[in-house]
A = this chain, B = another copy of it.
Amino acid sequence: MSATGDLTRFLHDNIPLSAAMQLQASAYDGERLELTAPLAANVNDKGTAFGGSLYNISVLSGWSLLRLKLNEAGLNQKNIVIHEANTRYLAPVTGELRAACSITTDALTEILHTLQKKSRARITLTVTIYQQDKAAVEFTGQYVVLD
């Protein structure tokens, strides 16, 4: 099965709200992960995307990308938790929710290096949700990786 298929199944099996959102891992190239979710399951009283759904797809994008990279490095046993997050809503999302998160080689090297010496490491990831090709939500999350 593909990395995106495996990830979608893991999320649905372990985080029931991701299944309720009909969240899908839609693209992954080793550096950039994209998650999508349909508007209907994530709509609010104004007919646009619910701010909570926009947060959820963002926090899961960063978390999932970090999980993929740690698994690729053989660190399958690590836990990843969100420690603090800031979310800025720039424009309403009126169609499919689409979030993208990237990790640089330098940031990945740094966290893997820290985890060789310590049992815990922190990393800040940014996630952008697009409305057509313009940023509608900017999310910054500080994640902690620990045993």
Contact = CB atoms under 8 A, between A and B. Distances in A.
B88 A84 contact: yes
A53 B85 contact: no
Report the copy number of this chain in the oligomer.
2
Given A16-B41, A20-B17, A50-B15, A86 B89 contact: no
Interface string A47-69: 00011110110011000000000
A45 B10 CA distance: 9
Interface string A6-36: 0000100011110011000000000000000
A113 B106 CA distance: 51
Given A46-B81, A81-B89, 16 more contacts: A15-B43, A15-B45, A16-B40, A16-B41, A16-B42, A17-B42, A17-B50, A51-B82, A56-B56, A83-B88, A83-B89, A84-B86, A84-B88, A84-B89, A86-B86, A87-B87
24 contacts: A14-B44, A15-B43, A15-B44, A15-B45, A15-B50, A15-B52, A16-B43, A17-B21, A17-B42, A17-B50, A17-B52, A51-B82, A51-B85, A52-B55, A52-B56, A52-B60, A55-B55, A55-B85, A56-B56, A81-B89, A81-B92, A83-B88, A84-B86, A85-B86
